[in-house]
Amino acid sequence: MSLLDEIEPMKAEALAELSAAPDQQALERAKGAWIGPKGKFTGLMKQLGSLSKEERPLAGKAINQAKGELEQALLAARERIEMAASVPTEPTDFTAPGRCRRLGRLHPLTQVTEDIVKSFRKLGFVVADGPEVEDEYHCFDALNTPADHPARDAQDTFYLDQPDRPLLRTHTSSVQIRVMKEQSPPVRIIVPGRVYRRDTADATHNPTFQQVEGLYVDKGVTVGDLKGTVEFVFRELMGPKTQIRFRPHYFSYTEPSFEIDFANSLTKKMGKDWLEIAGCGMVHPAVFEEVGYDPEVWTGWAFGFGIERIAMLRYGINDIRLFYENDVRFLEQF
């Protein structure tokens, strides 16, 4: 067989080997065997001298052409093997977190609550907590709220359809009773928590909302202490220029009782001089007697306010329902 006739079958064999090479190592081996310095095609080149003058240029051209094709095939094979190596061998888990981290954030009400708690902690208060499903005793009776009080009406309070009339607490004041029955004075607690009232939802009402309750019991506690504490906390929360004002009011569990108004640039922006923000007062002796504290020895004050109101003022939100819709477009802004 003449050299010229060997070229085509050799080329076919080499191409087949390159395209079948399973990995880079096999490919390198095939390259060396066919077109490397010691490869078979290089060997053919060396034999050109033995050919006739007519055959020599034809064979040289054919060998070069075959080598060119093999170079191409080599590149293609390299690409094929690289691609195969980049395909995962394990099944893909499409529920795995993406490379771009999108962390969640705290709900604006949680942020405000944490700020309130932080301020009270500076004054030595600790966080207490109680059940949202309460009974009439802790929510009303022990707080000196008589059976004919409108708050106890089924129109205003969610009662559960069960024996003993359990209810959803209408305020966090019920936790005052639970804590005082558990521990002896002095007491210094704040109670952030969810409360429920039978209100129809509108821009300023929602059937559930959040309150913070405060209770301070010790010897010789005065209204002055109450006012100083409220002022400190509200200035931390709403800015150092915040003014506080007490107005006489009525709550069955405090005597005297007050409503707290505040004023600052936020209330000005709303076109108001003063805005009502909380209820408070000196703990009623009847409440102390109920929990077994001697009202001749111990005095104390308590307050309660809504957290949504503060968050709405702070962030300029005009509809309380936004806090409960869980729309990320809203929540992402805080």
Residue 192 is a binding residue for ligand DAH (CB under 6 A): no
Q: How many residues bind ligand DAH (CB under 6 A)?
A: 11
- Cβ at position 269, least distance to ligand DAH in Å: 25
Residue 221 is a binding residue for ligand DAH (CB under 6 A): no
Strand partners, 244: 262
Q: Which stretch binds ligand DAH (CB under 6 A): 27-35, 47-55, 117-125, 275-283?
A: 275-283
Q: Which stretch binds ligand DAH (CB under 6 A): 52-60, 61-69, 201-209, 277-285?
A: 277-285
- Degrees to nearest 5, angle at CA 199 with 198 and 202: 155
- Between 95 and 155, name the residue whose CB sits nearer to ligand DAH: 155
Q: Which stretch binds ligand DAH (CB under 6 A): 64-72, 89-97, 119-127, 278-286?
A: 278-286
Interface residue with ligand DAH among 7, 139, 217, 280 (CB under 6 A) is: 280
Token couple for 229: 């504490």
Q: Are strands 254-263 and 243-251 parallel, antiparallel or unpaired?
A: antiparallel
- Between 59 and 244, name the residue whose CB sits nearer to ligand DAH: 244
Interface residue with ligand DAH among 120, 125, 196, 251 (CB under 6 A) is: 251
Residue 304 is a binding residue for ligand DAH (CB under 6 A): yes
- Between 174 and 242, name the residue whose CB sits nearer to ligand DAH: 174
Interface residue with ligand DAH among 119, 145, 173, 264 (CB under 6 A) is: 173
Strand partners, 259: 247, 279
Q: Which residues bind ligand DAH (CB under 6 A)?
A: 171, 173, 213, 251, 254, 279-281, 302-304
